[in-house]
């Protein structure tokens, strides 16, 4: 009997724990401050400011501050769009709904291709129109007043939460980012050392894939840290450039096979030095600048001790590139300690426009379906339908499993309906005055706030908080109409069911996403071959690296065959860049220079067929050998081998 009671009480949600107590406390204080200001300023919807606070909650200070600023920016953009739509379609309901649907679809599409807080601004700009214009469709003459009320509520919520978080929370992300950078640099040094030893290729592959994913996660941490740290914000571009250099060193697989036939003493010396560097970094016994100087010395030492055999020269050349990437990464990370005078490398990211179009179309169809339900039923809860649909379509559009996320939203809303009914009709009539109201609401808020601190229950907690706050909200004079409450609660459920149906009809298909990434890898590889002489190799490579990491995240680290085409494309970029550097050292107008130009033109002409490109590279290699340019001949031979390997994989890609 005792064990059953213990299990029963353990299954009940907690309002806080010792770890989350201060987070719950400051979140409730911020929501209470926004609610008090709403009443003091005599807003028509005083609870809207508190709802803004509850929607913005994050345990990390940087996420709150950065998200709040961009949320305010997105709100201003949404309010401008709302004014324009009201001026165009105030008396035409169908066109009004169509305009809202198109705007929401556009914002959801933009959110899909933007990164970090810019995506937050696009999200808010989209659903702000739904929140502000629902009442305007019913009463066009009050449209401007509703828009201003919405903007004021958001401003109160953002300012209240930012003030409380700034005063009562600690800054932690700067140390976390620095620690993460030290960790991935140490692991990268150890990985480079393992490549120079006899460690099995399978073990190297597993380490490489996991490290590549962890480097991508650091970039996500930057998005949180820039909101709380002025140092991270001012050095973000340098750090992102360093991450791109580090990915280049980690994803370079050609060195795994290039060390065969090389002096074992040279390999052992380089491996030992890199291992020691990794240990020093992991033990915080050297700074990024000192580590960069150490790698630079190692790079020069490897160049000096390379023997005269062709294989060793090729190995030294490739090792030199990887050590250069590691050095540049460390120098960029050293900007956390001192500003770098040199200009940082440009960084590009893959953007999945097909996914953006699908998300936008889904949002348009869901909005039109909601408008149809409202129009044909004549339901007086049409504004509530739009107000719930907007956040639902946007917040979950890029989630890994949006249908499951919406199911969590529905569960949280059901809990909110029960809690709101208990609070509004049994407890609120018994109290009077703001202090008692705040204490009562805080007791209910605490359960949802605690849930947002747990990733597994975060969506459910957000739905609970917003649903509860909306359903219990009153104006300056309390109103207890159970029929209106039930009607509004039903509208919440109907709107979420429409969202769930939209996500099921147009689901996010991981298989299509994987195919799109593979097609993009091959498309941009052909672009590389066609524009090799004019393309920005650094920016192209960074964007290609982001595609490879996205593919690893989707497929897992075990499917080696699907990543090899991406790895080869990176090697092609590096080999073409080597050829360009060597060709520039040739005397202009000489036969060798003409041969190099002819070879580049032929490869660019046949960029759509890597097999023919490989044949052209071998032809150029033979010509270079006849002209006595043996170094260029060997480089073109290596390029031909890479093109042949790539052509085999390109033929097998659907």
> What is the secondary structure of 8-76 as a DSSP string?
HHHHSPPS--TTTHHHHHHHHHHHHHHHHHHHHTT-SSTHHHHHHHHHH--SSHHHHHHHHHHHHHHHH
- pLDDT of 486 > 60? The answer is yes
The confidence score (pLDDT) of residue 417 equals 93
Q: What is the pLDDT of residues 341-360, one digit of tens each?
A: 555 555 666 777 888 888 89
Residue 522 neighbours by CB distance under 10 Å: 17
Q: How far apart, in Å, do the first and last CA atoms of the chain sit?
A: 61
Q: How confident is the model at residue 9 (pLDDT cuts 50, 70, 90)?
A: very low
Q: What is the pLDDT of residues 359-417, one digit of tens each?
A: 899 999 999 999 899 888 888 888 888 888 888 888 788 777 788 888 888 999 999 99
- Whether the CB-CB separation of 465 and 445 falls below 8 Å is answered with yes
- DSSP 8-state class, residue 470: H
Closest to 396 measured CA to CA, from 471, 500, 498:
500
Q: For the ranges 68-72, 285-289, 615-619, which has the lowest average pLDDT?
A: 68-72
- Whether the CB-CB separation of 74 and 124 falls below 8 Å is answered with yes
Q: How confident is the model at residue 340 (pLDDT cuts 50, 70, 90)?
A: low
CB-count burial class (<10 Å; 0-12, 13-18, 19+) for 537: middle
- pLDDT of 118 > 60? The answer is yes
- Whether the CB-CB separation of 548 and 521 falls below 8 Å is answered with yes
The confidence score (pLDDT) of residue 308 equals 47
The confidence score (pLDDT) of residue 258 equals 47
The confidence score (pLDDT) of residue 416 equals 93
The confidence score (pLDDT) of residue 305 equals 59
Q: How confident is the model at residue 102 (pLDDT cuts 50, 70, 90)?
A: very high
Q: What is the pLDDT of residues 170-191, one digit of tens each?
A: 777 788 888 999 999 999 888 8
| Contact partners, residue 167, CB within 8 Å, separation at least 6 | none
Q: What is the pLDDT of residues 292-336, one digit of tens each?
A: 888 888 777 766 655 444 445 666 677 778 888 888 889 888 888
Q: Which residue has the higher pLDDT, 554 or 109?
A: 109
Closest to 199 measured CA to CA, from 187, 188, 211, 207:
207
* Residue bearing tokens 């429409």: 498
pTM of this prediction?
A: 0.79
- pLDDT of 492 > 80? The answer is yes
Torsion of the alpha carbons at 65, 71, 77 and 83, rounded to the nearest 10: -130
Give the tokens for residue 118: 């810019």
| Contact partners, residue 186, CB within 8 Å, separation at least 6 | 277, 278, 279, 281, 282
Q: What is the pLDDT of residues 27-38, one digit of tens each?
A: 899 999 999 998
| Contact partners, residue 559, CB within 8 Å, separation at least 6 | none
Q: What is the pLDDT of residues 569-604, one digit of tens each?
A: 888 888 888 888 888 888 888 888 899 889 888 988
Q: Write down the number of H helices and E strands in the chain.
A: 26, 0
Distance CA 632, CA 486 (A): 79
Q: Which residue has the higher pLDDT, 405 or 6?
A: 405
Give the tokens for residue 163: 């003030």
Q: How confident is the model at residue 106 (pLDDT cuts 50, 70, 90)?
A: very high
Q: Which residue has the higher pLDDT, 132 or 365?
A: 365
- pLDDT of 439 > 90? The answer is yes
**CATH top class, domain 173-227+229-336:** mainly alpha
Output the average pLDDT for the chain: 82
* Backbone dihedral angles phi then psi of residue 92, each to the nearest 5 degrees: -130, 95
Q: How do the domains of the chain map onto residue ranges?
A: 20-171+352-505, 173-227+229-336, 510-577+586-652
Sign of CA pseudo-dihedral 104, 105, 106, 108:
positive
Please, where are the H alpha helices in 473-609? 482-505, 510-530, 537-555, 561-584, 591-605
Distance CA 615, CA 636 (A): 10
């Amino acid at each position: 009997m005792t064990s059953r009671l213990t299990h029963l009480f353990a299954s009940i949600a907690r309002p806080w724990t010792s770890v989350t107590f201060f987070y719950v406390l400051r979140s409730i204080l911020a929501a209470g401050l926004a609610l008090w200001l709403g009443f003091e300023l005599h807003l028509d919807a005083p609870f809207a400011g508190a709802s803004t606070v509850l929607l913005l909650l994050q345990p990390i200070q940087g996420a709150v501050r950065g998200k709040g600023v961009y949320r305010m920016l997105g709100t201003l953009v949404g309010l401008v769009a709302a004014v324009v739509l009201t001026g165009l379609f105030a008396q035409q309901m169908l066109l009004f709904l169509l305009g809202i649907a198109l705007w929401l679809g556009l914002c959801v599409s933009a959110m899909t291709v933007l990164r970090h807080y810019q995506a937050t601004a696009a999200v808010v700009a989209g659903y702000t129109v739904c929140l502000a214009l629902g009442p305007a469709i019913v009463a066009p003459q009050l449209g401007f007043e509703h828009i201003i009320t919405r903007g004021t509520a958001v401003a109160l919520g953002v300012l209240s939460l930012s003030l409380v978080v700034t005063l009562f929370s600690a800054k932690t992300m700067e140390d976390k980012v620095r620690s993460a950078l030290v960790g991935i640099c140490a692991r990268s040094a150890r990985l480079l050392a393992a490549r120079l030893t006899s460690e099995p290729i399978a073990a190297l592959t597993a380490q490489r894939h996991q490290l590549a994913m962890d480097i991508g996660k650091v970039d996500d941490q930057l998005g949180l840290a820039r909101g709380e740290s002025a140092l991270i914000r001012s050095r973000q571009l340098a750090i992102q450039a360093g991450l791109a250099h580090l990915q280049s060193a980690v994803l370079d697989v050609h060195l795994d096979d290039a060390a065969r036939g090389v002096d074992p003493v040279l390999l052992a010396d380089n491996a030992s030095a890199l291992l020691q560097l990794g240990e020093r970094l992991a033990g915080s016994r050297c700074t990024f600048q000192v580590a960069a100087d150490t790698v630079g010395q190692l790079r020069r030492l490897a160049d000096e001790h390379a023997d005269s055999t062709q294989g060793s020269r090729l190995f030294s050349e490739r090792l030199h590139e990887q050590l250069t990437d590691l050095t540049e990464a460390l120098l960029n990370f050293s900007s956390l300690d001192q500003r770098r005078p040199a200009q940082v490398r440009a960084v590009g990211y893959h953007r999945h426009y097909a996914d953006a179009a699908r998300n936008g179309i889904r949002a348009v169809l869901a909005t039109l379906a909601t408008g149809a339900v409202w129009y044909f039923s004549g339901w007086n809860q049409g504004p509530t339908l739009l107000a719930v649909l907007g956040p639902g379509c946007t917040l979950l559009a890029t989630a890994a499993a949006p249908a499951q996320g919406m199911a969590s939203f529905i569960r949280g809303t059901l809990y909110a309906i029960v809690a709101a009914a208990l609070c509004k009709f049994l407890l609120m009539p018994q109290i009077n005055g703001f202090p008692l109201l705040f204490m009562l609401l805080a007791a209910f808020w605490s359960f949802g706030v605690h849930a947002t601190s747990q990733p597994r229950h975060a969506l459910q907690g957000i739905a609970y908080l917003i649903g509860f706050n909306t359903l219990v909200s009153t104006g300056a004079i309390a109103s207890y109409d159970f029929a209106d409450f039930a009607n509004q609660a039903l509208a919440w459920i109907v709107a979420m069911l429409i969202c769930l149906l939209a996500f099921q009809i147009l689901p996010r298909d991981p298989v299509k996403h994987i195919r799109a990434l593979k097609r993009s890898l091959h498309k941009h590889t052909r672009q590389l071959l066609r524009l090799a002489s004019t393309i920005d190799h650094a920016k192209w490579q960074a964007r290609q690296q982001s595609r490879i990491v996205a593919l690893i995240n989707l497929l897992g680290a075990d499917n080696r065959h699907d990543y090899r085409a991406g790895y080869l494309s990176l090697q092609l970029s590096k080999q073409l860049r080597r050829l360009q550097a060597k060709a520039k050292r040739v005397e202009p107008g000489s036969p060798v220079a003409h041969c190099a130009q002819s070879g580049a033109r032929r490869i660019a002409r046949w960029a759509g067929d890597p097999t023919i490109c490989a044949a052209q590279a071998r032809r150029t290699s033979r010509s270079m050998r006849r002209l006595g340019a043996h170094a260029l001949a060997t480089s073109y031979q290596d390029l031909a081998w890479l093109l042949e390997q790539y052509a085999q994989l390109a033929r097998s890609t659907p």
